[in-house]
Every structure is written in C-alpha cells, then in structure tokens.
Amino acid sequence: MKNREMKKRPSAQKGRTFNSKNKRISINQDPFFDAEEKGSKRRRKMEEDNDEDIESSSGEDEEDDGDEGGGFGSGRKGGEGEEDEEEEEETAGEMKLRLSKDLLKLMTEAEKEEQEEEEEGSGDDEKRRVEREGQRDSRVLKILQQQQLEESGRLRRAIASRVQKPETSDGFRVLVKHRQSVTAVALSEDDLRGFSASKDGSILHWDVDSGKTEKYTWPTDEVLKAHGAKDPQGQATKHSKHVLALAVSSDGRYLASGGLDRHVHLWDIRTRQHLQAFPGHKGPVSCLTFRQGTSELFSGSFDRAVKIWNVEDRAYISTLFGHQSEVVTIDCLRVERVLTVGRDRTMHLWKVPEETQLIFRAPASSLECCCFISNQEFLSGSDDGSIEHWNVLRKKPVHIVKNAHALVSSSQFEPENGGLPNGYIENGDQSPQNLSPLARSWISSICICRSSDLAASGAGNGSVHLWTIQSESHGISPLFQLPLVGFVNSLAFAKSGRFLVAGVGQEPRLGRWDRIPVARNGVAVHSLKLS
C-alpha cells in the first residue's frame, strides 16, 4: 500500500513543484518553465516558417513536373502567374487611362477653340461653359464605353449591311508573292502592316498600302541553340523552316511563328531579329494566337496539346490537354478563353482561369477551322464544306450552312428562301456538275471582322464568300462571292472592315493531296466599300 501511495504521489503532485524552503508555487511562476515556454514558442515559429518553405518548394517541384505532362492547367506557375496577371492588369489599366486622357485632351482642345470664339466673360457665359464641359464629358464617356464594348466583344457592329456589292472590275489584287503556298497571314493592330509565311520557310513583312516587303532572316543553328532551340528529333538532321502559323501581339512588338521544327519562334517586329525559340511541343506547331491586349501566347500542335507562353518574360506557363488528335486551329479574344479545333471532330472552349473546358462535337464531319464571333458565339468550318454557327450554351450547332463553297456561278449564290429543318441551309445548286472536288470544297479558313457581323470563309473552289452573322433565329446568310483562284489557306479582316487579306497557294496548308497549277502563291487583298 505504501508503495502504491508513493507511486501515486508524483502523479498527484505533477502540476506543482517545491522550492528549497518547501513553499508551494505554481508552474507558471517558476522562471525555469517560463524560459522553456518561450523557447517552445520560438521553436514553433521556426517550424511554421520551415513548413511554409517546404510547402513552397514542393509546389515548385510539382510545377516542374507539370512541364512534362499532367491534366488541364498542369505546370501553371501559381505565384508567378498571379504576379504577372497583376502586372498585366496594371499595364492594361495604365494604357486605358493614357488613351482616355489623350482622347479627353483632344476633345477638350476642340471645345476650347469653340469657347474662345463665343466667350465674353459674363456670368451667363460661365454657366454655358460649365454646361458645355458637362456635355463634353458625357460624350467622352459614351465614346469610351462604346470602344470598351466593341473590344470586349459584347457589342456587335453592323458592317455587313454597309458592304456594297463589288463591281466586276473590283477583285483581289496580288500584293505579295511567295515561291510556295502561303500558309498564314496576319495584320497588325493598326492595319498598316501585314505578315505572311509560306511553305518555303520565308516570313515577309509588308506595307498594306504600297506592298513594300521586308524579309525576316532565319539565324544560324548556333544562334537558334543559344536562343533556346533543341536539337532536331527523329529523322530530321536540321531545323525545318517550313512555317504553318503566325501571330502578332496587340502592342505591335512581337511576331510569333510555328512550323514543322516543333518550336515556337519569337521575333522582334521593329528589328526583324530572332529573339527566342520555345521548345516543348512534340509535334509540328500548327496554330498560334495572342490574347488581345496582353503578352500571353497560345500555341496548338500535332501533339494534341495547347501550350501557354508569356513572351514578355520569355517563359512557359501551362499546358492544356484534352484533344484526342492533332490541334489545327486556335483563336482567342480579350477574355482568357481559348477556342481550338482538332482532327478528333471536336472543338474545345478552354476557360483558362477556371481550369475547365467545354467540348463541342461536329455532327458528321471533321472540323478544320474556327473563330470567335463574341465571347458567347463562334464559327467553324468542316471538311465536308459546311459552316457551323455555335453558341456556348448549346452542345450542337445553332445553324449549319451545308455545301457553303459549292462550285457555282455568282447568280446562283443568292440566298434561297427555302431551307432544311434544324437550321440547315443548302447553298447553291446541288447538281453534280456544279459541285467542286471534295478536297477543294473543304472550308480551309474562316475569319470575323472584329466585333462585327461580317464574316468570310475560304476554300479551294475559286472564291471567297462573305457572310452576314445574324441572330440565333436567323443564323448565317450569304452576302457576296469574291473570285479568287487557289487554296485560300488564311484570311484576315481589317479592323475597320475596309479590306480583306487572303493567303493563297497552289496547295492546301497542311498537306499536298491536291494542287491547282493555275493559282498564284502569294497574298491577295480585296478592298470593301462601305456605305
């Protein structure tokens, strides 16, 4: 019993201790335990800091692993991406503020000139001056709101109804010549300069008005390696100069090109010098696009992946996976949403910040090209000659124009009153003698005049077709037919809608399964008269 009591006593007195004079004091009053508690607090704080460091380093490791593979958004650099987004937003805001101030200054100077003629210094004149300033500010606000709505795609300009019917003498004029088929064309933001690339590896920079051209010179293999290029893979012994895609940044500083060498190449537009080569794709780079107003670049490839780059920082951001076959076309507006088309008969709408995607499946054919109408609507072209009108809220096309590029005369191209159920429209005479060969009726390119209801599509049937984008209840209606011999591999509208640029070739963009010998390889421009 005594032993048990002796064993219990320490546990009973566990929360207390005694000093040399046998006076009971609390643990909280003992300086020894105070020092121990302070030391434990320091250790906890150091452990928390170490945990934070470990978490951040593990996150970086995961990001490095994401460069090699993963799901949608794998490899995205969270911290750096957020900082870059903040910087981009600040830069865009500063740019908007500067443009607003410039516009306000111009309007203010115009108003002051009028006021100097009318003002006499009286009180009534002062009141009128204040009223005029208020009216001026209201006008500036309306102009800025109009521009913002148009740039964001929420307001559609009515341009198609203003396009006058081209005269017989009016037509495409060849502005720039290439030795082989043109694969891509692009226009700068101010519509004054254009860029084109072809299968022979040449990249040309030309003036829209005069047609004066300047050629981009490819650097040597040593310089390419210094700029980040990897050694050729497979049976290739040197870097291929075959270019399939071009894209121009909104600020007019950068030109991106991609092709068979599996790299995305970045060029300085002002000096026409090669800046960087982005490796990472395991197949030819087939399509490129910049997000409007930013330095964010999207690239699609035959390796079924879509990669995101930051050209300002020369950095890789993320990879988007989802296509089951080659990615052939890509498009993007100001919002961080990407539209892609693949040979798997699907079109993907990627919502990058949310890391989600919507999949739209073609009814019975393979999709070849696509473009945004607005953030909620888009167009696509198929290899069976159909043009589809899509809405983000529906998985199936809202309207389909079948046989959009039939080989018919211009008199037969007028829109018909009749149609097929479910929004299907037959375009032109369907008799066998009027149908073009299958490969030549493919919709090889399609584009939209930005923030408007005017669209254009190209194929190899000998003409470029203009379309009017109407509401969902009315769909797409044909407008005019512009004769052009050859495969129309790329199209680009001027922002004002006053001219259309077409990249033409004797062969299709992504193959050589057909050839039109009478076609001229080059860039053709057609002016459009607006009422």
List, edge to edge, every strand of the sheet that includes 522-527: 173-177, 522-527, 499-505, 487-493
Torsion-angle region of 49 (φ positive above 0: left; ψ -120 to 50: alpha; else: beta)? alpha
How confident is residue 8, by pLDDT bands cut at 50, 70 and 90?
A: very low
Residue 440: predicted pLDDT: 83
pLDDT > 90 fraction of the chain, expressed in percent and rounded: 46
The rounded distance, in Å, linking the Cα atoms of 173 and 501 is 10
Least confident of 31-45, 131-145, 330-344, 479-493: 31-45
pLDDT the model gives residue 341: 95
Residue 174 confidence class, pLDDT cut points 50, 70, 90: very high
Q: What integer pLDDT is reported at residue 153 of this predicted model?
A: 54
pLDDT above 50: residue 15: no
Burial class (CB in 10 A: 0-12, 13-18, 19+), 152: middle
Q: Band of the pLDDT at 406, cuts 50, 70, 90?
A: confident
Q: What percentage of the chain exceeds 70 in pLDDT?
A: 66
List the one residue out of 242, 249, 228 whose CA is nearest residue 286.
242
pTM across the whole model: 0.70
Q: Are 358 and 349 in contact (CB under 8 A)?
A: yes
Please give the Cα distance from 448 to 500 (Å, whole number): 10
Q: Is the pLDDT of residue 33 over 90?
A: no
Across the range 405-423, mean pLDDT stands at 45
For the segment 359-377, the average pLDDT, to the nearest whole number, is: 89
Largest CA distance in the chain: 122
Q: Does position 71 have pLDDT exceeding 80, yes or no?
A: no
Say if residues 488 and 508 touch (Cβ distance below 8 Å): no
**Of 343, 360, 247, nearest in space to 295 by CA:** 247
- Rg over CA atoms, the chain: 32
283 by DSSP, 3-state: which? Answer: coil
Instruction: Say yes or no to pLDDT of 408 above 70.
Output: no
Mean pLDDT value across residues 291-306: 94
List, in order, residues 6 or more apart from 348 with CB less than 8 Å away: 322, 323, 338, 339, 340, 342, 357, 358, 359, 360
The β-bridge relationship of strands 399-402 and 424-426 is: parallel
Determine the pLDDT at residue 429.
44
Query: What integer is the mean pLDDT of 453-466?
Result: 93
pLDDT at 17: 42
* Pair 251, 265: CB distance under 8 Å: no
Contacts of 113 (CB under 8 A, 6+ apart): none
pLDDT of the residue at 358: 94
Q: What is the pLDDT of residues 263-272, one digit of tens each?
A: 999 999 999 9
Q: In what order do the strands lie in the sheet with 356-361?
A: 327-332, 337-342, 346-351, 356-361
Residues 282 and 267 sit within 8 Å (Cβ to Cβ): no
pLDDT band at 157 (very low <50, low <70, confident <90, very high): confident
Q: Is pLDDT of 416 > 60? A: no
Q: What is the pLDDT of residue 320?
A: 95
Length of the chain: 531
pLDDT, average across residues 130-149 = 68
Of 66-75, 90-99, 189-198, 488-497, the range with the lowest mean pLDDT is 66-75
Contact 371, 331 (CB under 8 A): yes
- Rounded to whole angstroms, the Cα distance separating 510 from 199 reads 10
Question: 417 pLDDT band (50/70/90 cuts)?
Answer: very low
The kind and range of the H/E element at 205 are: strand 203-207
Q: What is the pLDDT of residue 79?
A: 45
The residue assigned the tokens 């009515």 is: 158
What are the pLDDT digits (tens) for 216-252? 999 998 999 999 888 776 555 566 789 999 999 999 9
Confidence class of residue 47 from pLDDT cuts 50, 70 and 90?
low
What is the reported pLDDT for 1?
A: 44
